Chain A
Amino acid sequence: CTSGGGSASTSSASAGAVKAGTGTATMAIFGSIGPCLMPNLTNNGNARAVTQCFGSSLLAYDEKMDFIPSLASKYTVSSDGTQYTFDLRKGVKWSDGTPFTADDIEAAITAMTDPQTTTNWITYVSPIAGTSDRKAGKSATIGYKKVDDTTFTVTLSAPNASFLDLFGTQFQPLPAHIVSKIAPTDLNTGTFAQAPNVTIGPFYMTSRSGDDDMEMARNPHFWGGTVGLAKLVVKSMTETNGVTAILAGEVDVIPAESVAEIAPSDVETLSSNSAIKVVKYQNSTCQTLYMNEHTLFSDKRVRQAVIYALDRKGMIKTVLDGDGIVADSVYPPFSKYYDAKVITKYTQNVKKAKQLLSDAGWDASKTVNFIVPTGDTTVTQASVIIQQQLKTIGMNVQIQQVDNNTAISRANQQHNFDLTILANVGVNNLDVSRRFSTAAWKTGVNSGGYSNPQLDQLMAQAVTKSAFSDQKPLTDQIQQLISQEVPTVMLWYRDSIAAVDTAKVTNVVPQRGGAWLQAAKWGSA
């Protein structure tokens, strides 16, 4: 019985220093939040910042991206890597005072795997045996077993290296005593889903009208210690408005948790205001330039020419105002899998790029159709730079701006593009097969259709290893191979930028990895 996990004493989330104040803070989310605020069930990326305030996960990461206890005080993994047993923290209560038990875990799994609900995060639980069948509408027993009120076991259909990253740190329980009374069809959209008023996180929702004026109140029973703010208001707005609003004193916190972020050109404006603190932290979202293997980029030399042509550092400097790092590896530098020694680092080298192109016999008369989604100005700005830099090596790139939705269709369904930029929202996880496996051309986000049996095999192997020491040799090979083959040009990992009006709110310290707002610690000034 191999075991991982930490002791219950190193609780990371609790902070004794926080006093229960009467303060209110207003938080701006960029973009629409969508109706569903049920953890695990919302399909909206922008909603994450809100659901984080409502929920807690079983485990969390520390600074080194190692697991630390959260709702679970301890976990054990069977030697074959298929059975995980979690011990739940004792004395935890939902915001209405109902005790938190293993039933609440089951309730959440059941809800996510109900054929009548939809969720983008099915991967959190899909390694568990029987879940896929249940979701597909076949009768199936799920590999979940309640041992007692504070202990449960899940059985996986196969060993899975990223199970803890997903089920452990992303999955959140749902209140069984509430959810069991809700019809499955209402789980995504019912009243409770839209305004969860029984939560396990630092806040619960008190009122909501549409996308605006969501109001949350402090959870008196929060397990992680006293919540600093009495009230938290959430408002969805556009980037410019958010920046304006915080400058005008109408908003107190912009938590870099939405899909759109504070524009680099606004950082200076914000910083120039003495009350506003700009907080930057590294993020695992990778901006990626996809090259279509099925049209013009089947030749590795051409792909390498592209990466040599680009000045990614320069781009980060101008487009992101320096707030980001060049993406050298599929694993972000703060990931435990990242290893600078095994990867090839590319810097701009126009001569070499030209050489590679001519070696590959590139036909300069061809136009390269570059699909650029609108919405994120850093992307549209970068696309122009990319176009110009590729022009210098003799690639005739034509930009076609389309809305994001169209871009996704053209990239993932129709594969009708030569170049395109899309973001890969990263989760700390060794499994990158959705981005690079042959199968993922049809089913994942391997939009360019890169195919390499060796890589396929490495990725498949790595997933089955649950010990870091077993994983490391494989992930090293994976990142090395990917950096050599250049299936995509990974442009950068952009820093998340949060802004806080320190005159109103204190102690906003987001954690690296972009995972946790730690809103429980916020206090009012």
Chain B
Amino acid sequence: MTSNTIEAVTAVPATTRSRRSGSAVLRSLLRNPTAVFGAVVVIIIVLATLFAGVIAPFNPDAINLNLAHAAPGHGHLLGTDLQGRDVLSRLLYAGRASLLIGVGAVVVSLVIGVPLGALAGFFGGWLDAIISRVTDVVLSFPVIVLAVVAGAVLGSGIWSLIVLLGCILWTTICRLVRSIAIAQRDADYVVAARSLGASDLRIIVKHILPSTVGVIVVNAVFGVANVILIEASLSFLGLGVRPPTPSWGNMLSDAQSLGVLAGQPWMWVPPAATILLTIVSINFLGDGMQKALDPRLRNR
């Protein structure tokens, strides 16, 4: 209801500083220590993977059958894997695939889910009914079936994984956006916009969608983390990124043999730790972003 508490009496700061939202978002982020931590780590990881070519001590695909599954040492900082490839180099390159899939799949899911959710929520009626049923159908689909089929039809490349996971994950975002759209479609400021003569499209784009941004960001962040994990699970079932391309998931899936798990931890601990660190950082960043993107929370 009317929150005539703090805001109502807060005198207006005579603002002269730049209020462009881009820089305001950034400033708010920078003021949030956990978000800064998250951002720094994410940036480091992204840079490390982007410049893997420069940093990595070895060619990630180069096998060395004479130095297979060697413990750290021998010039291999993190040891080698089952085919004698340098774990550190692979770890660096693996970030490319994992992050690309994570971000890519989330982008696909947003591209599908956001408009559908907004349309369903805003217009309701039969459109909503159809979209909701389709969502149910997709939700009731075992990921594994799609993974196999997509792997067989499209090939288990990075791009097909992106499309595949995007096509599965849009349902969550669709539902979320839909529920927000339902809540917002009768909000006063939407009625206000309509009374100004705004078309439905404009209302959706200018008013409904911006109000979903916070949720979308959080969900997207979770989504990236989730996709990295799903890719790992698919790799475990042999359906992940195609070798020899490394991904954190398929590196990790080497641990599916007990021998590696117990005896050769250098093969799976680094990717596991990297996934953990990445997801934690992305989460921190996401929380910060959510705050920063909402002008009402930004300066708290």
Determine whether B63 belongs to the interface, using a CB cutoff of 8 Å to chain A.
yes
Q: Which residues of chain B are near A263, meaning CB under 8 Å? A: 257, 259
Contact residues, B67-114 vs A (CB, 8 A):
68-69, 82-84
Provide the bound-state CA to CA distance between A287 and B92, in Å. 33
Check B151 against A318 for contact (C-beta < 8 Å): no
Binary contact readout B222-255 vs A (1 if CB under 8 angstroms, 0 otherwise): 0000000000000001110011100000000000
Q: Is the CB of A387 within 8 A of B244?
A: yes
User: Interface-forming stretch among A166-174, A394-402, A493-501?
Assistant: A394-402
Question: Closest approach, in angstroms, between the C-beta of B257 and any C-beta of chain A?
Answer: 5
Residues of chain B within 8 A (CB-CB) of A385 are 63, 65, 83
Residue of B whose beta carbon sits closest to that of A269: B259
* B62 adjacent to A380 (CB under 8 Å): no
Interchain nearest-CB distance for B297 vs A (Å) = 45
Instruction: Fill in one digit per residue for A230-256: 1 if any B CB lies within 8 Å of its CB, else 0.
Output: 000000000110011001000000000
Contacting pair A311 B259 (CB below 8 A): no
B155 at the interface (CB under 8 A from A): yes
The smallest beta-carbon distance between B65 and chain A, in angstroms, is 4
Could you tell me if A400 and B155 are in contact, using CB atoms closer than 8 angstroms?
A: yes
Whether a CB of chain A sits under 8 angstroms from the CB of B33 is no
User: Is there an interface contact between A399 and B152, defined as CB atoms closer than 8 Å?
Assistant: no
Is A454 engaged at the interface, CB distance under 8 Å to the other chain?
no
Q: Which residues of A contact B151 (CB under 8 A)?
A: 401-403, 406
Partner of B239, one of A269, A399, A403: A403
- Determine if A388 and B61 form an interchain contact, defined as CB atoms under 8 angstroms apart: yes
Question: B69 is contacted by which of A265, A315, A388, A406 (Cβ under 8 Å)?
Answer: A265
- Complex CA gap A375/B148 in Å reads 12
Complex partner residue of B83 from A267, A318, A374, A402, CB under 8 angstroms: A318
Q: Is the CB of B263 within 8 A of A401?
A: no
Is B262 located at the chain interface by the 8 A CB criterion?
A: yes
In the bound complex, do residue A403 and residue B148 qualify as a contact, i.e. CB atoms below 8 Å apart? yes
Is B156 in the interface zone, CB < 8 Å from A?
yes
A406 to B147, CA, bound (A): 13
Output the least CB separation between A491 and chain B (Å): 14
B260 interface contact, C-beta 8 A: yes
Q: Check A525 for interface membership: any CB of B closer than 8 A.
A: no
- How near does chain B come to A253, taking the closest CB pair, in angstroms? 18
- The answer to whether A384 touches B244 (Cβ under 8 A) is yes
What residues on B are CB-neighbors of A266 within 8 Å? Answer: 257-259
A383 at the interface (CB under 8 A from B): yes
Asked whether, in the complex, the Cβ of A381 is within 8 Å of the Cβ of B257, the reply is no
Contacts of A269 in B (CB 8 A): 258-259, 262-263
Q: Which residues of A contact B83 (CB under 8 A)?
A: 318-319, 381, 384-385, 388
* Min distance, Cβ B69 to any Cβ of chain A, angstroms: 7
Per-residue CB contact flags for chain A residues 399-418 toward chain B (1 = under 8 Å, else 0) read: 11111001000000000000
**Distance (whole angstroms) from the CB of A40 to the closest CB of chain B:** 31
Task: Check B63 against A377 for contact (C-beta < 8 Å).
Answer: no
Q: Contacts A240-B256, A374-B238 known; A318 to B68 CB distance under 8 Å?
A: yes
CA distance A380 to B244 in the complex (A): 9
Give the interface size class of chain B.
20 to 34
User: How many whole Å from A199's CB to the nearest CB in chain B?
Assistant: 35
Nearest-neighbor residue (CB-CB) of A263 within chain B:
B257
A265–B65 CB distance below 8 A:
no
Answer whether residue A149 sits at the interface, using C-beta atoms and an 8 A cutoff: no
CA distance A319 to B69 in the complex (A): 10
B258-A384 in contact (CB<8A): no
Q: Which of B187-244 contact A (CB under 8 A)?
A: 237-239, 242-244
A265 touches B257 (CB 8 A): yes
Q: Could you tell me the distance in whole angstroms from the C-beta of B133 to the nearest C-beta in chain A?
A: 30
Contact A240 B68 (CB under 8 A): no
The 0/1 profile, CB within 8 Å of B marked 1, for residues 420-449 of chain A is 000000000000000000000000000000
Q: How far apart are A357's CB and chain B's nearest CB, in angstroms?
A: 20
Residue A186 interfacial (CB < 8 Å): no
Chain B positions within 8 Å of A80 at CB level: none
B258 contacts across to A, CB distance below 8 A: 240, 243-244, 247, 266, 269
> Who on chain A is nearest to B68 by CB?
A318
B65 touches A401 (CB 8 A): no
A388 touches B244 (CB 8 A): yes
In angstroms, how far is the closest chain B Cβ from the Cβ of A57?
Answer: 35
Q: Which residues B133-161 have CB closer than 8 A to chain A?
A: 148, 151-152, 155-157
Q: Per a CB cutoff under 8 Å, which of A268, A318, A399, A402 touches B65?
A: A318
A176 CB → nearest B CB, Å: 43
Q: Give every chain A residue within 8 A of B157 (Cβ-Cβ).
A: 400
Task: Give min CB distance, A383 to chain B, whole Å.
Answer: 7
Partner of A315 from the list B65, B148, B243, B259 (CB cut-off 8 Å) is: B65
Q: Report if A240-B65 is in contact (Cβ < 8 Å); known contacts: A383-B243, A387-B244, A403-B148.
A: no
In the complex the two chains form, is B239's CB within 8 Å of A374's CB?
yes
Q: State whether B257 touches A401 (Cβ < 8 A).
A: no
Distance of A317 Cα from B68 Cα, bound (Å): 9
Decide: A399 and B242 in contact? CB cutoff 8 A.
Answer: yes
Docked Cα-Cα span, A89 to B158, in Å, equals 62
Tell me the smallest distance from the CB of A439 to a CB of chain B, in Å: 28
- Given A266-B257, A315-B65, A401-B151, the answer on whether A384 and B156 have CB atoms closer than 8 Å is no
Task: Report A360-404 residues with CB < 8 Å from chain B CB.
Answer: 372, 374-375, 377, 380-381, 383-385, 387-389, 399-403
CB contacts (< 8 Å) of B69 on chain A: these are: 265, 318
Q: Assess whether A137 is interfacial by the CB under 8 Å rule.
A: no
Distance between Cα atoms of A300 and B156 in the complex (Å) = 31
Task: Say if the beta carbon of A210 comes within 8 Å of chain B.
Answer: no
Q: Which residues of A contact B66 (CB under 8 A)?
A: 314
Contact B156–A402 (Cβ < 8 Å)? yes
CB <8 Å contact, B238 and A403: yes
B259 pairs with A401, CB closer than 8 A: no
A401-B63 in contact (CB<8A): no
Docked CA distance A426–B198 (Å): 75
Give chain A residues whose Cβ lies under 8 Å from the Cβ of B156: 400-402
| CB nearest to A380 among chain B residues | B243
The answer to whether B244 and A399 touch across the interface, beta carbons within 8 angstroms, is yes
B88 to chain A, nearest CB (A): 18
> Which A residues are CB-close (under 8 A) to B155?
400, 402
Does the CB pair B259–A399 fall under 8 Å?
Answer: no
**Chain A residue with the shortest CB-CB distance to B85:** A384
Chain B residues with CB under 8 Å of chain A are 61-63, 65-66, 68-69, 82-84, 148, 151-152, 155-157, 237-239, 242-244, 256-260, 262-264
CB-defined A-B contacts under 8 Å, sample of 21: A240-B256, A243-B257, A263-B257, A265-B69, A266-B259, A267-B259, A268-B263, A314-B65, A315-B65, A319-B82, A319-B83, A374-B238, A375-B238, A380-B243, A384-B243, A384-B244, A385-B63, A400-B157, A401-B151, A402-B155, A403-B152
The 6 A-B pairs at the shortest CB distance, nearest first, are namely A374-B238, A314-B65, A265-B259, A318-B68, A406-B152, A269-B259
A263-B259, A399-B242, A403-B239 are known; give 8 further A-B pairs, CB within 8 A.
A243-B258, A265-B259, A268-B259, A317-B65, A318-B68, A384-B243, A385-B65, A401-B151
